[in-house]
Structure 1
């Protein structure tokens, strides 16, 4: 008898439906509520974007196995090793994937197998040695996004209109830059603590500036955003003005506006809006006008704001590390584009 395995993509119900009382335990109101609580926690185990990526990874592997006449489950280290090799050096017309993307695909497969009750041994020689060979032959330095520096951010906000939508977008750019925030951290802000289920932080105002408490990808952290030297470029002033004119006293800080850009709506912005805003204002402001438009768009992303703060702020490295929420100085240095390049000439210092 051939055992049937589930190879479908997991829905939210699939991820939480197997969380239930054991069959030999009698249900009760208290236990049933605990089951519901446990399912809520299970839904929060990974972000929606991560789960979507893992679902696509699984669909791709299932399709690949079918084309090769193989079964996706139970896990076969030999087949997965061949799959990784095909991703790096495709036998079809598909483009070769980067090492980082291949590693992400493997993580996606591991997660999906775990959901189905299997364990994928990523240290198995059929997987580990092939992945090590791919890394050795194809690894390249990471492609870093261009940093948005102080003069750039001033030029970008100058392209925005002076309506409510322009005020909102100006605040997003200034706050994201001064706080060294991720896209998800910007749009996840609430006015007050614990106001919404999808909120990822809140704001407190002080005479000196604003304090952001964030539920970031590396854990909770606080970010101090001080007041700027002028109202035109002060992120705290812009934030106060946005909340005042948008008449936002509770709920999400950054929301959509009406089509004419004059009225704030209730729906929270997505992090994709931040990415589109950065690319659009980079083009309008003429930053890196020496490059074709397609290259300029590809050079800048949400990470450009974080890299810009790390590269521009002339303070001790430990303060930048704390602001960005990095666990190590090494990670912070990866964000510092050209900051210390040739500042110290060791050639001359060595006597040459």
Structure 2
């Protein structure tokens, strides 16, 4: 189960295809962007090659790279157990792998967990990406993959389970569960309000800096103005600008909440939202993980009794970071195009998926047709 060393014909290939594998002696998972040591690369181009690697890594988020590395490792382990070669890519092997995922036998036991269709599609995309980085493209249209995947979708696909939208009255109740007398409470208050008013993803919330070009892992920065705050974000398709206006009162104003947090936490440079330690009295230097946003939304929603009509176990599964984005989309009574722009969606159809409690029958084609 060995992979042959890639033959890089010239310096351009070395620089442009830094993700290729130099040599694998087993199917143990290599890094998703393995280092390339090639004697044909002149020493004076080492720095340029290093910069090329930086750009390759910048093409995807750290979370995406971690997920792709994990998927590749699991696939490599499965191939080793079945006696299959990892390289070159074999559509029939991949077809068997996704079948194992769908049937719950990918772990080598009949009782293995069956993966959802969305998870299998993510794994397939991950394998495609990893093979491409190694200069050996995987043909997803091959019948061994495409036909099997179509059958998996037809047999196992289920309607998407959407997270519950946090509406304005819910958010106000959630804010009341936070301690205004602690730095942690002030930080969490600002995170909830900015996440909701900006319609931000959880990674966008924690990725913000105080100002431009302050940290390498930043997803954007803020600028506080008289009428509100501008949030500049770097997304998959480039930069976008989000306007967060001031609230009708200081208690519900995201700008006031952020200013209060920055002032009392004494943050003037670097990440906006950081860990609070020392019994809530000390602010660290490190940026929060985006999972903290999901935990915050879930914890405060449960504490505030949001959707208290449902059983406790079911309620716990209904709230996450996306609840804030869905809440803005569901409650902002403005032209849909403004909501679409705020959320950074390419289509109105995607925006409508976030409108959990919109009036679905505002346009009644049955009556309009004369019935």
- Shared fold, TM over 0.5: yes
For residues 268 and 40 of structure 1, the distance between their equivalents in structure 2, rounded to whole angstroms, comes to 21
For residues 350 and 129 of structure 1, the distance between their equivalents in structure 2, rounded to whole angstroms, comes to 41
SS in 2 for 1:337: coil
Give the CA deviation at 1:202: 0.7
* Higher mean displacement: 145-154 or 56-65: 56-65
The aligned counterpart of 1:271 is 290
For residues 150 and 231 of structure 2, the distance between their equivalents in structure 1, rounded to whole angstroms, comes to 41
Q: 1:185-224 alignment to 2 at 5 Å?
A: 185-224=204-243
The aligned counterpart of 2:76 is 62
SS in 2 for 1:225: strand
Question: Unmatched 5+ residue regions in structure 1?
Answer: none
Give the CA deviation at 1:167: 0.6
What TM-score, normalized by structure 1, do the two folds share? Answer: 0.92
User: Is the 2:3–2:86 Cα contact (8 Å) retained in structure 1?
Assistant: no
- In the alignment, does 2:131 pair up with 1:117? no
For residues 3 and 160 of structure 1, the distance between their equivalents in structure 2, rounded to whole angstroms, comes to 55
Q: 1:164-243 alignment to 2 at 5 Å?
A: 164-243=183-262
Q: 1:1-352 alignment to 2 at 5 Å?
A: 6=24, 7-11=27-31, 15=33, 17-18=35-36, 23=40, 26-28=42-44, 31-91=45-105, 92-162=110-180, 163-352=182-371
Give the CA deviation at 1:139: 1.8
Give the CA deviation at 1:19: 7.4
RMSD, matched Cα: 2.0
User: Is the 1:16–1:43 Cα contact (8 Å) retained in structure 2?
Assistant: no
User: Is the 1:16–1:42 Cα contact (8 Å) retained in structure 2?
Assistant: no
Give the CA deviation at 1:344: 3.2
For residues 29 and 65 of structure 2, the distance between their equivalents in structure 1, rounded to whole angstroms, comes to 10
User: Is the 2:30–2:73 Cα contact (8 Å) retained in structure 1?
Assistant: no
For residues 362 and 315 of structure 2, the distance between their equivalents in structure 1, rounded to whole angstroms, comes to 27
User: Is the 1:147–1:304 Cα contact (8 Å) retained in structure 2?
Assistant: yes
For residues 303 and 183 of structure 2, the distance between their equivalents in structure 1, rounded to whole angstroms, comes to 19
Cα separation, partners in 2 of 1:19 and 1:318, compared to 1, 3 Å: farther
Question: Unmatched 5+ residue regions in structure 2?
Answer: 5-22
SS in 2 for 1:140: coil
For residues 190 and 140 of structure 2, the distance between their equivalents in structure 1, rounded to whole angstroms, comes to 44
User: Is the 1:189–1:200 Cα contact (8 Å) retained in structure 2?
Assistant: yes
For residues 30 and 211 of structure 2, the distance between their equivalents in structure 1, rounded to whole angstroms, comes to 34
Give the CA deviation at 1:98: 1.5
Cα separation, partners in 2 of 1:49 and 1:346, compared to 1, 3 Å: same
Give the CA deviation at 1:175: 0.4
For residues 289 and 197 of structure 2, the distance between their equivalents in structure 1, rounded to whole angstroms, comes to 20
What TM-score, normalized by structure 2, do the two folds share? Answer: 0.88
User: Is the 1:176–1:306 Cα contact (8 Å) retained in structure 2?
Assistant: yes
- String of CA shifts for 1:161-193, please: whole Å, max 9, x gaps: 011110110000000000000011101111110
SS in 1 for 2:250: coil
Give the CA deviation at 1:3: 6.2
User: Is the 2:28–2:77 Cα contact (8 Å) retained in structure 1?
Assistant: no
Give the CA deviation at 1:160: 0.1
For residues 156 and 186 of structure 2, the distance between their equivalents in structure 1, rounded to whole angstroms, comes to 45
For residues 58 and 37 of structure 1, the distance between their equivalents in structure 2, rounded to whole angstroms, comes to 25
For residues 351 and 132 of structure 2, the distance between their equivalents in structure 1, rounded to whole angstroms, comes to 33
SS in 2 for 1:237: helix
* Higher mean displacement: 48-57 or 209-218: 48-57
